């Protein structure tokens, strides 16, 4: 089983659609979880942290299920500017941050 | 002001050469990292330093040698460059403890001819 596994996509959705990404991780001792966004030929940028109780930031909702070792990201009312690769990130122990391979999203007019 | 800055942004060189990439952060973070992102876009950690001490050293060839003169700098020196070293190298930093998210530099695109 991969350390952090994501559906690579690509996801092609129309503007205004709701899209969900999933991520699973192998290390049950993982401590912190994040979603990053990476635009083409750019550096990864933090999108949001993921908390056990679930959290929302505008159109973005993140969920964590520790029992199933599963993280999700929901994007509502997709915008053209949401087109990017979304990286699931898990911190296994101090300093050791593991990235998924990313899920590519294209939002079309 | 750039929080994590890397230089150079682009590096094109021949096989067998030795090159260095510099990284500096002005966020006051104690931990710095080097990542490699290959052509398949998979981002993989190479090294992590906390307060100038090596914390993580993944299975990276010893041709790669990180150097941290102080906690705000983590440079990467690569000896005897090979074709397979072509990739984008990202520097990052985070608050002490590593459970905080990392902030990335904008990458160094290394191409080996």
Tell which residue, B30, B26, B33, B43, has the closest CA to residue B88.
B43
Interatomic CA distance for residues A24 and A41, integer angstroms: 26
Residue of A nearest to B38 (CA): A101
Please state the rounded mean pLDDT for residues A73-96. Answer: 90
Interatomic CA distance for residues A62 and A74, integer angstroms: 6
| β-strand partners of A73 | A21, A62
Per-residue pLDDT band for A7 (boundaries 50, 70, 90) equals: confident
Strand order of the β-sheet with B19-25 is B4-7, B19-25, B73-78, B64-70
CB-CB under 8 Å, A42 with B44: no
Question: Is residue B39's pLDDT more than 60?
Answer: yes
CB-CB under 8 Å, A102 with B102: no
Give the residue from B101, B104, B105 with the most A CB atoms within 10 Å of its CB, the best one to mutate: B101
| β-strand partners of A62 | A55, A73
Residue identified by tokens 């942004």 is: B9
Of B96 and B22, more confident: B22
Question: Is residue A103's pLDDT more than 90?
Answer: yes
Per-residue pLDDT band for B98 (boundaries 50, 70, 90) equals: low
Question: Is residue B23's pLDDT more than 60?
Answer: yes
Residues in contact with A67: Cβ distance below 8 Å, sequence separation at least 6, in sequence order: none
Cis previous bond, A33, omega within 30: no
Residue A57 sits at φ, ψ, to 5 deg, of -140, 95
SS3 A81: helix
Interatomic CA distance for residues A106 and A79, integer angstroms: 10
Between the alpha carbon of residue B52 and those of residues A13, B18, B69, the distances in Å are 45, 23, 7
Tokens of A105: 């999203």
User: Is any Cβ of chain B less than 8 angstroms from the Cβ of A28?
Assistant: no
pLDDT single digits (tens) B5-21: 999 999 999 999 999 99
Which residue in B97, B101, B105 is closest to A94 by CB distance? B97
pLDDT single digits (tens) A41-61: 899 999 999 988 889 999 999
User: Is any Cβ of chain A less than 8 angstroms from the Cβ of B47?
Assistant: no
Least confident of A12-26, A35-49, B58-72, B74-88: B58-72
What average pLDDT does the structure give for chain B?
Answer: 90
CB-CB under 8 Å, B99 with A32: yes
């Amino acid at each position: 089983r991969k350390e952090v596994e994501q559906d690579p996509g690509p996801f092609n959705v129309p503007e205004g659609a709701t899209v969900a990404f999933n991520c699973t991780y192998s290390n049950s001792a993982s401590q912190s979880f994040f979603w990053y966004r990476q635009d083409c030929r750019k550096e990864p940028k933090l999108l949001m942290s993921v908390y056990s109780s679930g959290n929302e930031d505008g159109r973005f909702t993140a969920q964590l299920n520790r029992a199933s070792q599963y993280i999700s990201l929901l994007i509502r009312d997709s915008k053209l500017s949401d087109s990017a690769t979304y990286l699931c990130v898990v911190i296994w122990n101090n300093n050791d941050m593991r990235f998924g391979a990313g899920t590519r999203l294209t939002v079309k007019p | 002001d750039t929080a994590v800055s890397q230089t150079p942004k682009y590096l094109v060189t021949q096989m067998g050469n030795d090159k260095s990439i510099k990284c500096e952060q002005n966020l006051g973070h104690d931990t710095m990292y080097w990542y490699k992102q290959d052509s398949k876009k998979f981002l993989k950690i190479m090294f992590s330093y906390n307060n100038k001490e090596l914390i993580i050293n993944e299975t990276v060839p010893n041709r790669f040698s990180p150097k941290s003169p102080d906690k705000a700098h983590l440079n990467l020196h690569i000896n005897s460059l090979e074709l397979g070293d072509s990739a984008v190298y990202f520097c990052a930093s985070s608050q002490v403890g590593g459970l905080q998210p990392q902030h990335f530099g904008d990458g160094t695109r290394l191409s080996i001819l």
